[in-house]
């Protein structure tokens, strides 16, 4: 405290105070600050005691209902497919609910004012940024463009409400003057520039009075320390914090303490900040706003569910649960749960997403992004198999077999409505805007932290290949259907709801009181139908329960990896480590089949308390049928006749394409005609599979023929955007076939012979 008084007094003297007055002022400031922090700490401690008792009670209740210790913990952190009450009311669901709640209201407000295209275009980023800078200082009104001011006001309002909510959860985040968006330093750019250049470039841009607390013997030394800390991936401790949280936060992993940290690098003005962001920043304004909402939503969910120090809370809870059920653990042989539980905790806290080595993480991220834009051009065709999986989800929600089979096709028609209409419904239901928050790629790959340029390229790619429209439209329509179904039940008391609705509500801990609040918010739209829109519910807790319900069911109906699937796909490893990046490369594109197994098959096996045999048979047959249709569409794009449906090989290929067999389906899909992927390539992932292509080139050279053709095919496959299903059709039929025949005479004849022998196919154009 004496050191804090001394540092504060020095700053006041530098501002013109007499020394004695400065000391008295500093003592008063530190005393007031310390008193306030102690009160907050006491409040947080009391809240954490209540939270711990609640968590222990809920997990132990799940164990008493028949779950194993591991499954009970997984239900609370990630959610499980069981029919047990509370099985889906997980931390992962709560994170999604908070995130989608804020995103949907933010996007909806922009959409209603016609401002969403303006923000997405980045044309007014400079004006919006200047207004945000001014608003953070309590001024505003500097933007000359009316639309820029409106957008800045909406961003500021959203961000400020999330800041206040984090403070209610136990943080102490003050409004920072000169805040535009989170300052994400691109460590790769910093490393490339080098320490000397970075320090030289940054020094003139900084507000020297505010940076590093304004008290340092050498600004250059402080800058060099900051550079080394960021490039090495270690946090720079700030002993010179202008507003230390003394006596306020306990524990080295305290989340409230982390989010309450003051910035150390403060810029002189907006132009200085903009110069830094253009040279060394990682996000444009649009991506930065998305990042900020996602980051704050994650922290809100963690602190509201696990208190100010989630990691310490989780460890204490697990220790208590193990003590309570030690006899059960010993009897049932759950002695080895520690590693699995720790992996769940690390994933829940986002530790697996923290880059141990930023440069290694960047290389792996860019390779996976490259694979996306060179290999997923036909993903929208493969996504035809979403239709039977969506049908089964509608059936699970209580629709008849006929209605649930027809509804996904009606949903496609809904997707053809105006984009503004779809966004409006997305803003009301909380689902159907993944493309707007750059989350489409997550359906097929582990989550990555893409650079600004890579994120933009990938977003354009998924728009061009149709997957953005497909995913948004189907989730949007599903939210609309669920909302209308609940609207039709407005007059039904909780006890009289149909068994399917009550079962699902139980999974999400939606109680009678919650339903009574929700059903009062029914809205009649222009189509004459009644809807219950989650975002129209005033009660925050009920609103987010309903949003979580909508998001979770739509992520199963349109299979989308969640916390559990991402953890399985990364094997609990950390980004930026050699093992972590190797696993992510190995498992790329396997998130989707994993999701089919855990969510779709898991629901069919456990969702109603016992295996749903009719549902499993329906899923197998329908995915095979739609898998065949997807295969036929891909064959036509490649200039081939569809596979002979009477052949056993075709049935296996259709089953694999349909996703009904999960990862096994990928192996069955390995093309036996001699020109497709081998099982080894599929197991090794797309990146390591490319080495197999290089070996084929070498092998062809050794044999004395075909090496030029193999080189050409490998080179073409490595061209980004080359495999968009419509451009690929033109390439195959107008260029590639002729080129391959020229480089390797007899190529087409041999390929057609292999196709005909295996699948009864022929080339359409010869």
Whole-number Å distance between alpha carbons of 686 and 556 = 26
Provide the pLDDT for residue 59: 95
In this structure, what DSSP letter does residue 533 have? Answer: -
Whole-number Å distance between alpha carbons of 545 and 533 = 12
Cα 480 vs. chain centroid, distance in angstroms?
22
- Asked if residue 669 and residue 628 are part of one domain, the reply reads yes
Closest alpha carbon to 128 in 139, 113, 118: 118
Residue 357 to residues 231, 333, 364, Cα–Cα distance (Å): 9, 37, 11
**Total structural domains in the chain?**
4
- Asked if residue 203 and residue 345 are part of one domain, the reply reads no
pLDDT class of 262 with cuts at 50, 70, 90: low
Q: How many helices (H) and strands (E) does the chain have?
A: 38, 2
Closest alpha carbon to 276 in 358, 203, 169: 203
pLDDT class of 235 with cuts at 50, 70, 90: very low
Provide the pLDDT for residue 177: 86
- Asked if residue 179 and residue 135 are part of one domain, the reply reads yes
- Asked if residue 80 and residue 98 are part of one domain, the reply reads no
Is 28 part of a structural domain of the chain?
A: no
Is 54 part of a structural domain of the chain?
A: yes
Provide the pLDDT for residue 176: 83
Is 185 part of a structural domain of the chain?
A: yes
Is 674 part of a structural domain of the chain?
A: yes
Structure tokens at 616: 């499993």
Provide the pLDDT for residue 663: 45
Provide the pLDDT for residue 237: 40
- Asked if residue 290 and residue 190 are part of one domain, the reply reads yes
In tens, the pLDDT along 25-39 reads 889 888 888 888 888
Is 50 part of a structural domain of the chain?
A: yes
Q: Which residues of 55-89 are buried (b: 16+ CB within 10 A; e: fewer)?
A: bbebbbebbeeebbbbbbbbbbbbbbbbbbbbbbb
Q: Is the pLDDT of residue 697 over 80?
A: no
- Asked if residue 678 and residue 662 are part of one domain, the reply reads yes
Q: Which DSSP string corresponds to 670-685? A: S-TTTTS--HHHHHHH
Helices (H), 602-647: 602-606, 613-637
Mean pLDDT of 187-208: 91
Contact predicate 33/1, CB 8 Å: no
CB-hemisphere CA count at 13 Å for 163?
A: 18
- Asked if residue 190 and residue 292 are part of one domain, the reply reads yes
- Asked if residue 494 and residue 588 are part of one domain, the reply reads yes
Provide the pLDDT for residue 660: 54
Closest alpha carbon to 669 in 635, 627, 617: 627
CB-hemisphere CA count at 13 Å for 372?
A: 29
Whole-number Å distance between alpha carbons of 592 and 514 = 33
Structure tokens at 392: 């089964």
For 524, the 3-state DSSP assignment is strand
Percentage of residues in the chain having pLDDT higher than 90: 41
Q: Is the pLDDT of residue 440 over 60?
A: no
- Asked if residue 97 and residue 78 are part of one domain, the reply reads no
Closest alpha carbon to 162 in 297, 288, 307, 287: 297
- Asked if residue 426 and residue 327 are part of one domain, the reply reads no
Is 231 part of a structural domain of the chain?
A: yes
pLDDT class of 474 with cuts at 50, 70, 90: very high
- Asked if residue 162 and residue 113 are part of one domain, the reply reads yes
Average pLDDT, the chain: 85
Closest alpha carbon to 759 in 671, 676, 650: 650
Is 335 part of a structural domain of the chain?
A: yes
**What is the pTM (predicted TM-score) of this model?**
0.88
Is 599 part of a structural domain of the chain?
A: no
Name the residue range of residue 167's domain: 93-297
- Asked if residue 314 and residue 270 are part of one domain, the reply reads no
Mean pLDDT of 284-303: 91
Q: Which residue, of 562, 592, 622, is where some domain finishes? A: 592
Provide the pLDDT for residue 572: 85
Q: Is the pLDDT of residue 671 over 50?
A: no
How open is the CA angle 200-355-104, to the nearest 5 degrees? Answer: 100
Mean pLDDT of 260-281: 87
């Amino acid at each position: 405290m004496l050191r804090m008084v001394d540092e504060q007094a020095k700053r006041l003297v530098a501002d013109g105070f007499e020394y004695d007055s400065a000391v008295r002022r500093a003592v008063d400031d530190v005393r007031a600050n310390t008193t306030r922090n102690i009160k907050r700490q006491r409040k947080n401690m009391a809240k954490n005691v209540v939270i711990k008792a609640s968590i222990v009670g809920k997990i132990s209740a799940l164990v008493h209902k028949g779950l194993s210790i591991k499954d009970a913990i997984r239900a609370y952190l990630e959610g499980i497919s069981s029919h047990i009450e509370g099985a889906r009311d997980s931390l992962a669901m709560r994170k999604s609910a908070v995130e989608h709640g804020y995103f949907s209201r933010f996007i909806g407000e922009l959409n209603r004012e016609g401002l969403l295209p303006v923000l997405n275009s980045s044309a007014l980023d400079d004006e919006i940024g200047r207004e945000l800078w001014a608003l953070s200082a309590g001024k505003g009104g500097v933007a000359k463009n009316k639309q820029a001011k409106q957008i800045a006001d909406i961003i500021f309002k959203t961000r400020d409400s999330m800041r206040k909510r984090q403070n209610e959860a136990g943080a102490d985040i003050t409004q920072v003057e000169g805040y535009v968006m989170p300052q994400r330093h691109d460590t790769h750019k910093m490393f490339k520039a080098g320490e000397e250049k970075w320090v030289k470039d940054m020094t003139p841009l900084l507000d020297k009075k505010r940076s590093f607390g304004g008290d340092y013997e050498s600004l250059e030394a402080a800058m060099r320390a900051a550079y080394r800390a960021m490039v090495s991936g270690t946090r720079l401790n700030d002993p010179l914090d202008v507003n230390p949280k003394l006596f306020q936060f306990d524990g080295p992993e305290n989340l409230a303490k982390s989010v309450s940290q003051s910035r150390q690098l403060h810029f002189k003005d907006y132009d200085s900040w903009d110069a830094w962001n253009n040279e060394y920043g990682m996000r444009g304004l649009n991506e930065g706003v998305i990042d900020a909402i996602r980051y704050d939503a994650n922290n809100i969910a963690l602190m509201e569910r696990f208190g100010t120090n989630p990691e310490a809370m989780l460890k204490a809870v697990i220790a208590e649960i193990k003590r309570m059920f030690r006899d059960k653990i010993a009897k049932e042989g759950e002695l080895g749960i520690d590693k699995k539980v720790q992996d769940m905790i690390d994933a829940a806290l986002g530790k697996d997403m923290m880059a141990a080595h930023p440069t290694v993480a960047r290389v792996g991220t860019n390779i996976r992004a490259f694979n996306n834009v060179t290999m997923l051009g036909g993903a929208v065709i493969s996504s035809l198999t979403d239709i039977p999986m969506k049908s089964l989800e509608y059936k699970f929600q209580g629709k008849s077999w006929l209605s649930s089979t027809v509804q996904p096709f009606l949903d496609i028609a809904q997707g053809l409505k105006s984009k503004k209409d779809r966004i409006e419904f997305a803003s009301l239901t909380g689902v159907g805007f993944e493309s707007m928050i750059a989350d489409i790629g997550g359906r097929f790959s582990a989550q990555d932290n893409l650079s600004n340029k890579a994120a933009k390229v990938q977003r354009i790619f998924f728009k061009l290949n149709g997957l953005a429209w497909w995913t948004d439209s189907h989730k949007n329509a599903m939210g609309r259907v669920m909302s209308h179904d609940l609207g039709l039940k407005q007059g039904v008391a909780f006890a009289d709801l149909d068994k399917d609705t009550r079962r699902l509500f139980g999974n999400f801990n939606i109680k009678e009181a919650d339903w009574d609040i929700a059903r009062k918010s029914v809205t009649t739209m222009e189509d004459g139908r009644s809807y219950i829109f989650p975002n129209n519910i005033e009660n925050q807790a009920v609103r987010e329960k309903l949003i979580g319900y909508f998001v979770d069911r739509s992520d199963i109906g349109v299979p989308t990896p969640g916390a559990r699937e991402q953890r399985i796909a990364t094997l609990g490893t950390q980004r930026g480590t050699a093992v972590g990046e190797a696993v992510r490369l190995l498992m790329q594109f396997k998130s989707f089949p994993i999701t089919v197994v855990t969510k779709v098959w898991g629901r069919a096996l456990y969702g109603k308390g016992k295996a749903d045999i009719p549902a499993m048979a329906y899923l197998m047959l329908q995915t095979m049928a739609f898998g065949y249709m997807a295969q036929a569409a891909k064959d036509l794009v490649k200039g081939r006749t569809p596979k002979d449906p009477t052949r056993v090989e075709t049935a296996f290929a259709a089953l694999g394409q349909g996703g009904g067999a999960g990862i096994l389906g990928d192996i069955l899909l390995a093309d036996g005609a001699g020109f497709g992927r081998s099982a080894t390539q599929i197991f090794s992932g797309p990146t390591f599979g490319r080495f197999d292509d290089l070996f084929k080139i070498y092998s062809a050279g050794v044999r004395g023929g075909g090496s030029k053709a193999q080189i050409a095919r490998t080179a073409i496959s490595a061209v980004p955007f080359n495999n968009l299903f419509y451009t690929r059709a033109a390439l195959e039929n107008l260029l590639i076939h002729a080129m391959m025949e020229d480089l390797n005479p007899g190529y087409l004849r041999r390929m057609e012979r292999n196709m005909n022998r295996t699948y009864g196919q022929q080339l359409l154009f010869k």
